[in-house]
Amino acid sequence: MNLTFVTDLGETFSIEIDPDMELETVMVLLEAESGIPTADQSISYQNNDLTSTPSSFKRTLRQLNVSDSAMLSLRRKAMIAPSGQPVDHDSETMRLQLLGSPDLMSQLEQHQPEIAAAARNNPARFAELLRQTRTSQQQAAELEAQQEFSLMNADPFDVEAQRKIEERIRQQAVLDNMAHALEWSPESFGRVTMLYIDAEVNGTPVKAFVDSGAQQTISVYTIYAP
C-alpha cells in the first residue's frame, strides 16, 4: 500500500508500506524520510491520533484501519519544559540557535535581558515572551497599515500617496524574494562547515569531500597528498 504523509510545513512523503507493518516500524521509516525522531512524531488519520497511546505502536496499519492511498498528517509533538508546560517547537529551535550564538546572546542581553534570561533558564517562559513580542509587533504593523491605507485612500490622485503604494509593492516583492530564498537556499544564510576525510583510491591517498546532499551544488576538487 502507498501512503502519503503531510507535515505542517506542507512537505509530503510518499512511502510504499506493507499493510501488516507495525506502526512503530513505519515511524522509523518516517524518521529517515522527514528527519523527525520517532519520539517526536504525531501521526493522525481521519482526525484520529494514531500515536496517542503506546499500545498503538505495536498495531499494524491494517489493524488501525488505514486504507491504501490514504493521506496522513505527520506533526512534531510539542516539547515539554521542566515545569510540564508544552513548548512551541519553532520557539525552541530559535532558543537553541540563540544559545549557540554568543554574539546574538550578548545583543539580546543588552536590549532584552528578560528574554535572554528565559532563553538560558526557562524554555516555556521564552516561548511565552516570544509569542507576546510577535503579537505586539503584528498588532502594531496592522495598525500602521490601516492608518497608512486610510491616508492613501483619502486622495487616490495624491502623488505622495501613489509613491507610498509603489513603495509597499516594492517591499512586498523583497519579502517574497526573501521567503523564496529561505525556502530553497537556506544554506546561503548560515555558516556551512565542509567535511573532508582522508581516503585512498587505487592505493593513492586523497582528501575526500563528504557531500551531505545539500540543495546548493558546489564544485569539488580532489586534493592529492604530496
> Which positions are annotated as active-site residues?
211
Give the strands of the sheet with 12-16, arranged side by side. Answer: 12-16, 2-6, 71-76, 41-45, 48-49
Dihedral angle of Cα 38, 42, 45, 46, to the nearest 10 degrees? 180
Q: Grid cell 490622485 — which residue?
A: 157
H or E element, residue 100 = none
DSSP summary character for residue 22:
B
CA 50 to chain CA mean position, Å: 23
